[in-house]
Structures are given as structure tokens and as C-alpha cells.
Amino acid sequence: MLFHLTLCFCLKQLWSNRYQCWQRLEDGAQGSLKLPPAAIEFTLPSPRIALECQPVVDPPYMPIVKTKVDEVAINQEPAIQKSFVAATKTRRKQQIELVARALQEQEDKLREERETYRFNGVPLTLQASYEPALFHSVEDHDDNEDDIERIPLHHMQVAQCFFPSCLTTASVQVINLLEDNQVNGEGTAVYEVAHKVVWQCLIEEPALFMRNLLERLTREKKSTIIQTMRRLIRFLPRLPNQAAFTMYNYLTGFIMHHVRTPYEDSQEIIASVMTVIWLVVPNVYGLFLKDLKQILRKEQCDATILITANVPSAKKIIVHGPDASSIPSQFPIHEDTQFSQILTDSLDFFGIDEGKHNEYFLVDTKTNQIHNLNAFVRDFYFFKRSQYPQISLVHMNPTDAFDKFQRQAFTLQFTELGKVQFISPNVSQYF
């Protein structure tokens, strides 16, 4: 238990000082000491899906700016604007009342937004340290200050983050400590300390905190990494917007990786990732179905994630025979073409004995997935320019084939259920 608490405190201390290490190094250390980039082996959707976080409503750490009367008048109704234009000295009192009413409505609107805003999901230390001089080269001046000489600002270098990937391996251990209910002699619970550390990391830089998890997605056992992510969401069901945005885009990129380069276990992995995505969706800010469909269609993976996708099927399919040296055959694909028709034509083309027809099955060449004869080809193979799907006619024991059918049917239903959970009711609340 003492070791677990020490781990959390050490990670918190290193994380809080990831920008302050340069002060103890020699001058110019930022130019010579470079950290390698994240070794993530898949790309993210471009552009990013949704928005990173909701803007802070009326932040108390920003300078107070008074609302101008001109800005208030622009936001009024046309009738009120006309009254402003046609205002005379006899209607001066009415003009003052309208402006006061508009200012009060704006203040009430800000108050309601402040009351509903999740301020505990804002990195206060980073937000409150905002320096306008680092982002604006020339300050705004009034019209009566045009004759004042403007001094150009010098280039100011912002400190870089120093947190190597080897330190991010502790994130997995801290996430696992969310299940530790041990309490020390002072009444401090391990899971409570771990929760505070994880929350601070997620609201500040979630991509950096989860870098080790994302790097291990394509290297180690995927089920262990996905289980860790599900554990994180189980203990933090209301993730910060920036953490949900990061997880959603990276997991979508991981699915894109398996759609573009499929292999034998790709369908099982996609089904497992879908169970995490639909848990993250309610916390993603600015996720609209219209934008989502456009981005996924551009990345050619909308049929894998969206149940509402309408993608044209492939025009023809290539079937390889049992003998690798034989010439493959091509068959056209229509809207009502089933795999049973492809199997019948393939058995006749390759000259298989009629007594052994029940021992041959159609298997995908890349993923080694056996196809159900009652399924439609258009539901599995979609149109790609200059690319045609390839399947093989494989001899297999009917009993082994039936067991494989059962496992694949479970995976397919699991994936379809994830699509339904993704669309309804989570995404529907955003449009």
C-alpha cells in the first residue's frame, strides 16, 4: 500500500514539474536535448472529429472587458435597431432602458452558462497562465492613440514539455490503482489519490498521459490495453472533454488502421474497440453526425463505424481455387448477389466433385474470415477504385467450419450492437 501511494505522489510531482526542468539545466538545453516523438503506428482522422473542449464561459482569470453600447445594439432585433437609429432627444430615456435591458439579458445568459459549465474539467494552472504577449504581436489601440509609437514585441520562447515516454508507462499502473481500496493509517485511500492524479493528467494533457497505452495498441495484446481503457471509463464515467476527444480520435484512427490493413483478428479487435468508443461519445463536445459522416467517408471507414452508412458495393470479386497454382476466377457483384451464388459458380469453375461440395467454403484471403452463404456480398465488400476483393475456396471440415461460423456470428453481432449504441442515443443529443 505504501508503494502504491508513493507511485501516485511521484507521478504527480513529475507531472507538475514537466515544464520546470529547464531551469536547472544549462543555457540552450532545449536545442540539444530533444525527446523522440510518440511511436504510434497509426494515423488519426483528418481533420479531427468534434472539438477538443468547450470554451470557458466568462473565465475569471481573464481581464474584465466592459460591453460597449455599439455591440449591444448590433445584437438587438431589427425593430430595436431602427428605434436606435431614429432615436431623438425626446426618446433618450427609452434608449437608455433598452440598453440596460440588453446588458441585463447578456449578464443573465452568462450566469446560466457559468452555472451549467463543468469548471472542474478545466486545467486552471495552464489557463490562468495565459500571456497575451505570446500570442499577439501587436496590441489593439483606440483611434485616439494612433499617434503613439508602437514598439514591436520581441520573440519569446515558450518552455517545452519534458516528459519522456518511459515515464508514461506509470499511467497504466495508476489506472489499475483505481481498484485499490486500501487505506493507510492517516485515512488516505489509494484509489482516491489515484483518482486525483489521473484526473489532473487527463484535464491537462490527455494525449501525453495515454501515450504509452496508445503505443502499445499495435504491439502487445490488444485485449489488455482495451481492458485498461474500459477500467478508466468505469471509474471516470464523466471524462473531461479533452480526454474524451483524444480517446475518440485515436481509437477511430486505430479502427482505420485495421480497415486499411486487415489481418486475421481485425474483426474481433474492431468489435472490442467499438465497446470503448460508444462509452466515450457522451463526453465528446461538438460531435455532429453530419461532420462525422463526411470525415469517415473521406477516410473510407464509414461502413465499419456507422450503421447509417450507405456505401456502394464492389463491382466484381476474385476467387482463388484450392490449388494456389490455378488461375483465379472473377465474378460480377450485383445488389442481390449472395455468397451462395459465388460458391456455386466457384465449385463449377474449379471442377470440384459434387460429393465434396459440402466440404468447401469461401474464406477471405486477408482476414481468413469464413463467409456465411446466406449473407449478401455488398454488406462485406465495398467499392474501391482499382481494388477488388479476393476470397479463396478452401477445403475444411464441416464441423470446424460450423464452430468458426458461430464465433464469427458472435463477433458480427457484437460489432453491430456497438454501432447502434454509438448512434443512439449518444450522438443524437448533439444535433
**Rounded distance, CA 232 to CA 237, Å?**
8
Give the pLDDT score at 431.
46
Beta-carbon count within 10 A of 304 CB: 22
Give the pLDDT score at 2.
84
Angle at 343 (CA atoms; ends 339, 348), nearest 5 degrees: 155
**Rounded distance, CA 174 to CA 190, Å?**
10
Give the pLDDT score at 25.
79
Which of 278, 274, 291, 213 has its CA nearest to residue 244? 278
Q: How far is CA 178 from CA 153, 198, 236, in A?
A: 47, 9, 10
pTM of the model: 0.84
Partner residues linked to 62 by β-bridges: none
DSSP state of 27: T
Please enumerate in sequence order all residues whose Cβ is within 8 A of that of 350, keeping only pairs 6 or more positions apart, or say none: 321, 322, 326, 329, 393
Sequence-distant contacts of 97-105: CB under 8 A, at least 24 apart: 99/69, 99/72, 99/73, 102/72, 102/73, 102/75, 102/76, 103/67, 103/72
Spans of the chain below 70 pLDDT: 66-90, 132-158, 424-431
Q: Residue-wise over 109-133: b if at least 16 C-beta within 10 A, else e?
A: eeeeeeeebeeebbbeeeeeeeeee
Q: Are 8 and 177 in contact (CB under 8 A)?
A: yes
Residue that the C-alpha cell 465499419 belongs to: 304
**Rounded distance, CA 209 to CA 11, Å?**
11
Q: Which fold has domain 316-396?
A: Ubiquitin-like (UB roll) (3.10.20)
Give the pLDDT score at 157.
60
**Rounded distance, CA 319 to CA 364, Å?**
9
Domain ranges of the chain: 2-56+158-305, 316-396
**Rounded distance, CA 327 to CA 105, Å?**
76
| Cross-sheet strand order for the sheet of 390-395 | 329-332, 316-320, 390-395, 360-364
Q: Are 405 and 372 in contact (CB under 8 A)?
A: yes
CA dihedral for 357, 387, 420, 412, sign (positive or negative): positive
